[in-house]
Structure 1
Amino acid sequence: MAASMGKFVFFFFIYFSSVFLVISGSFRKDIYSTKTAYSWVYDTNKNVDLNEQMSTKFGNKTCAAVNVQAFLRHGARYPGYKDIRKMTALHEKLKLTVKSPEYPFLRKWENDFPESEEKQLVDEGEEEQYLLGQRFGKRLLQLYGDSMKNVKFISSSKDRCTESALSFYEGLTEIVLHEAFDDLKPIINDEILRFHTKCGKFIEEVENDRSHMKFHKKFKISSEMNNVVDRVRKRLGVEHATLNAGELKLIYFWCTFEMIILEKDDWCHLLTDEDREVIEYHNDLKQYWKKAYGHPVIAEMACPLMTEIFGALDKVIASQLNNRNQRGNVATFYFGHTESLAPLYAALGLFNDTSPLLDSNFHEMKDRVFKSSRILPFSANIAMVLYKCDYETEPEPSVNDFVLRFYVNEEPVIVPACGDYVCSYSKVRDMYTHHVDRCDFENVCRTKVHDEL
């Protein structure tokens, strides 16, 4: 069933209103960690040429795209119910204690986010995914062949992911089929997209063990964070013990939620860009140590997803070598969470700074590559595009005729296996053998046996 004209008009209106929307103030909007809107770090007005990713060069060879495997984090969502309650309580406290007349909104502010909608996809999140679908359709239009028969959609069971998949599908079909369809029923697979909830070792040694979060905890009481707290206290005119670092972080996230969803920036005025950079680093310490490079099991538990991706690419290559004209799967789109994307980055060896993020090196790490605002915003995505090089004249075509490119948030990134933007598939595959050919999720996630007293 085709999506209604009303839905098209809705997205048309939202897209153009977002282009001309100007929120008061001159805040940098690319420093809100994992709650950053996708359009704040990627220029959604950037021109996309038809089939611009359909070919690439590898040495003196010209190569054509034959498959894409893409993972997308869900779009912008409502805050969780715990934060909704905490923010209401914080406002009540500030309303009674703030002495400065510069923030009159505090007297009349109301929490507009209902607990019943907690973590649900919002209109802006639908828009992010719809437009992503359109751009993926344009860049690889020739790959799809005017059909969705050879395209797979796999999603986490969470509503925000299945709804993201549907919005993406509508955008993709709008380009490929010239009509937006809303009849998608994605394959639900939490085994490969919510592996963090099924890995006992991760839950016991990372999720429930705070010892590996020592740098995050130490930075919370660092001079940098304390200076931010002091500055905000002075702006508000509150007493010394009224505001703490945890509440500061809540204000930081409430600023971005209200900007994205309500187009309001009241809470944002309490923080400067300098303040937000400090809070962003505090949150990056959490993402780095808890969801990416803080423990070996984090990358290892992503092996079911790695196996799915590279297994699909292996099948495409085998099919191409056995029958050069055979058309099988041409694309797979996975829809998941930060908790699945960050471990995937770790398994791939992406965004791993030469020095780890610590509580003591904030200033040295200002130009870090592990910057969650840029690599883990709402609707963050990574695409692996497989290309077949021109081997028709070669007597014995082989796997060596295939190359791979990585794109993160629609921009090319260097492939770790070869240190270049285009890499032999064999080199990439060899680098990840441990995660693909020797994936033993049960063994990776087995918890230690504790002797009973």
Structure 2
Amino acid sequence: MNNYLYTISIFMLIIQCHFKWSLAELKSRNDVINHLGTRTPYRFRFNKHDDRIKYPKCKDTKIWMIVRHGTRLPSAENIMGMYNELHELKNLIILQNKLGKENGISLSGNLNKEQIKGFKDWSCNLNVEEAKFLTLEGKDEMILLAERTRKRFPNAIKHKYDNKTFLFRFTATQRAHQSARYFTQGLFSHSDAQNVEFAPATKVDHVLRFYKHCDKWQKQVKKNPDTYKEQVLLANSSEMNRTLESVTKRLGLSRPVTLDEVNLMYKICGYETSWNKFDVSPWCYAFDTESAEILEYYHDLKHYWMDGYGHNLTYRQACLALQTMFKMFRSDHDPFATFLFAHSGTLVKILTHLELFKPEQPLTAGLIDKTRQWKASYIDCFASNLAFVLYKCKDGDHVLTLFQERPIKLPMCDKELCPLKQLEHYFYDSIHKCNYADLCNLDKEEKDKNSQ
């Protein structure tokens, strides 16, 4: 599908999910829309300042950047949930609020007329075959991210495209592929963007999706029930029961909503708010600040234990991606600018490998720390990105790290601009002892257990 037909197709999909709220109302809902987890739109998080980043007696010479794909459509499972569960809930909300008003019943937190109208106007006709496709908002995120990155590092990112100087890679998914293509449109002129050569995508990619085919991680972490223990505990807690009661009351329903239904509302609240710049999904009106924070934490528990600090192997395997950055910075050969387009699971594991956003204590169901650093709403929104820029300085090579386009100081460094030698020393094992087979292959005993 060419870009024009793709854009029209996605536009038609988006306008088929009808919901309308004013921009003033959107701003008034910031207490909820700032807790959307991995479906948080990038426009809430990016660095608006795009001035060139300069340091005395230093010159930016190389850049290595990894980007989570832009805003996408829901999964096939969630789209079917919109067709079925949410359409059923929508009708129930409208009916029971109408009956409540007619009978003079006043339930605490009932929806107002405008909110009920929002549910009446809401419908969805998304195509399941285009599940997880990039949206128009995702396209804009990539183009604008590239434009700002080019302005900040004009020496490392040449205006003229050269297939020897630039390397672009993406996973074998439509959303990553399209993210890469739109990124190049923001980086180069129209004619140059049309001539960009992309590295061929492969289903097995040990750099961009190392965890997908890491047998040991799949068995010991992803398919390990202990990984989800804390999330299950929160699901069965008094805090979650109060959350379900709160949502039930806010929607004016006479029967209690289930956790599955609330989870679906929460996800679609995020998706629909993300792909529309000026409106907020009516499903967001199911939540107040407290209930949104509980749902946010519920999902953070899963990501912490599966993609973050919960298991050593999870972040150790991210060395496979970081190896490529260190190798590039020490090479005298092309490319000098590398841009990789991957997924939430890739980026979060790399952030953890770098020891960023580590909470003081492991996340548990029993203690919800609202001030925690580990919040997917901030560290894993759509189009999240991590960049390393090599500066040639009078006193040697230095590396600037940027997350969400903001310079950050790595925990093992004294300043934001960190000596390359210091990083190489600290990550020596990541560079020189990172072997995929050693990390990921199951030994014979484990293989035998798996086959039983």
The normalised TM-score by structure 1 is: 0.83
User: What letter corresponds to residue 356 of structure 1 in structure 2?
Assistant: P
Change (3 A) 1:329 1:90: same
1:105-161 Cα offsets, whole Å, 9 max, x none, are: 545642232211100101110100000010111111122343322111111111111
Residue aligning to 1:18: none
Determine the C-alpha separation between the residues in 2 that align with 1:343 and 1:47: 27
Residue aligning to 1:275: 291
Superposed counterparts of 1:309-348, under 5 Å: 309-315=325-331, 319=332, 328-348=334-354
- 1:426 is displaced (CA, Å) by 1.1
Question: 1:303 touches 1:441 (CA, 8 Å); kept in 2?
Answer: no
Does 1:100 find its partner at 2:97? yes
Change (3 A) 1:436 1:245: same
Question: 2:328 touches 2:336 (CA, 8 Å); kept in 1?
Answer: no
For residue 386 of structure 2, the aligned residue among 382, 385, 389 is 382
Change (3 A) 1:30 1:184: farther
User: What letter corresponds to residue 384 of structure 2 in structure 1?
Assistant: A
Residue aligning to 2:172: 157
Residue aligning to 1:71: 66
User: What letter corresponds to residue 409 of structure 1 in structure 2?
Assistant: Q
Residue aligning to 2:160: 147
Determine the C-alpha separation between the residues in 1 that align with 2:195 and 2:138: 19
- 1:56 is displaced (CA, Å) by 2.0
Does 1:129 find its partner at 2:142? yes
Change (3 A) 1:334 1:234: same
Residue aligning to 1:437: 432
Segments of 5+ residues of structure 1 without an aligned counterpart are 12-20, 320-326, 392-400
Determine the C-alpha separation between the residues in 2 that align with 1:110 and 1:146: 44
Superposed counterparts of 1:14-413, under 5 Å: 22=23, 24-25=25-26, 26-28=28-30, 29-42=33-46, 46-49=48-51, 52-53=52-53, 55-57=54-56, 62-95=57-90, 97-98=92-93, 99-101=96-98, 102=111, 103-106=116-119, 109-149=122-162, 150-174=165-189, 181-187=193-199, 188=201, 190-240=205-255, 242-262=256-276, 263-315=279-331, 319=332, 328-362=334-368, 365-390=369-394, 401-413=396-408
Change (3 A) 1:135 1:95: closer
Change (3 A) 1:180 1:125: farther
- 1:376 is displaced (CA, Å) by 0.8
Change (3 A) 1:145 1:90: closer
Determine the C-alpha separation between the residues in 1 that align with 2:430 and 2:394: 30
Question: 2:161 touches 2:192 (CA, 8 Å); kept in 1?
Answer: no
Change (3 A) 1:271 1:180: farther
Determine the C-alpha separation between the residues in 2 that align with 1:244 and 1:267: 15
Change (3 A) 1:272 1:183: farther
Determine the C-alpha separation between the residues in 1 that align with 2:194 and 2:298: 40
Segments of 5+ residues of structure 2 without an aligned counterpart are 12-21, 99-110
Determine the C-alpha separation between the residues in 2 that align with 1:113 and 1:303: 38
1:356-399 Cα offsets, whole Å, 9 max, x none, are: 2111111xx211111111111110000111111125xxxxxxxx
The worse-fitting range, judged by mean Cα deviation, of 159-168 and 138-147 is 138-147
Question: 1:405 touches 1:415 (CA, 8 Å); kept in 2?
Answer: no
The worse-fitting range, judged by mean Cα deviation, of 403-412 and 440-449 is 440-449
Determine the C-alpha separation between the residues in 1 that align with 2:145 and 2:77: 30
Determine the C-alpha separation between the residues in 1 that align with 2:73 and 2:209: 20
- 1:93 is displaced (CA, Å) by 3.8
Determine the C-alpha separation between the residues in 2 that align with 1:331 and 1:202: 31
1:178-211 Cα offsets, whole Å, 9 max, x none, are: 8662333321252211111110011111111121
The worse-fitting range, judged by mean Cα deviation, of 425-434 and 415-424 is 415-424
Determine the C-alpha separation between the residues in 2 that align with 1:106 and 1:230: 20
When the two structures are aligned, how many residues end up with a matched partner?
Answer: 407
Residue aligning to 1:398: none
Determine the C-alpha separation between the residues in 2 that align with 1:386 and 1:218: 45
- 1:244 is displaced (CA, Å) by 1.7
Residue aligning to 2:18: none
Residue aligning to 1:322: none
Question: 2:400 touches 2:416 (CA, 8 Å); kept in 1?
Answer: yes
The worse-fitting range, judged by mean Cα deviation, of 343-352 and 117-126 is 343-352
Question: 1:36 touches 1:373 (CA, 8 Å); kept in 2?
Answer: yes
Determine the C-alpha separation between the residues in 1 that align with 2:169 and 2:91: 49
- 1:89 is displaced (CA, Å) by 2.4
Determine the C-alpha separation between the residues in 1 that align with 2:134 and 2:90: 30
Determine the C-alpha separation between the residues in 2 that align with 1:330 and 1:180: 17
SS in 2 for 1:442: helix
Determine the C-alpha separation between the residues in 2 that align with 1:284 and 1:225: 14
Question: 1:79 touches 1:257 (CA, 8 Å); kept in 2?
Answer: yes
